Amino acid sequence: MRTFRVPSVYKMSRLEKENAQLHREVEDLNDQIERLHTDMQRLKDSHARELNRTNEQHQQEVSNLKRILDKAYRWFPSFKRFLNMERECLQYGFTAEQTDKLLHGQRINYSGWLHSNEYRRNALADNVTVQVIMDEKRNLFLHINKTPIAPWFRMQFGIGQEQHRGLKI
């Protein structure tokens, strides 16, 4: 015959106390989670405000710089041409130092690769003389060995020579 043990009253009250303690711990943890959620939301809101403030400052600075550039373009009409020529020189593959010399009217000797965005190819320039020329209308042109750069690239790539061969009789 089997005998069943009935848990003692002491054991039951101990289990009830442990259960109550666990419930309190769960409540405490839930409270901590709630506080953390609140803190996270407060931080998100603070970050969003700071980001908006920073974006507004940035937009204000960009607006001021645009206004200053517009004035510079009006006061110095060739300024924009110089900026465009600087961009072009850098795209062709000249260094910032070489570009600076070119924009100051100096000739440079160059050996290396030059990139044509128009033809999406590179051409080897071997010991060439490069100069930025300003015409009477104050337009700027990049010349290589006294040839404008676009025809120079065409010569390097052999473009246009086929048509001339076809016209010979």
H or E element: which one contains 108? Answer: strand 108-116
**Domain co-membership, 87 together with 161:** yes
Task: Check residue 43 and give its pLDDT.
Answer: 96
What's the pLDDT tens digit per position in 88-134?
A: 999 999 999 999 999 999 999 999 999 999 999 999 999 999 999 99
Q: Report yes or no on 87 lying in a domain.
A: yes
**Domain co-membership, 12 together with 91:** no
Mean pLDDT score across all residues of the chain: 90
**Domain co-membership, 36 together with 94:** no
Q: Please state the domain count of the chain.
A: 2
Q: How far is the CA of 129 from the CAs of 81, 97, 111, 115, 148, in angstroms?
A: 22, 16, 9, 16, 12
Range(s) of the domain holding residue 96: 78-167
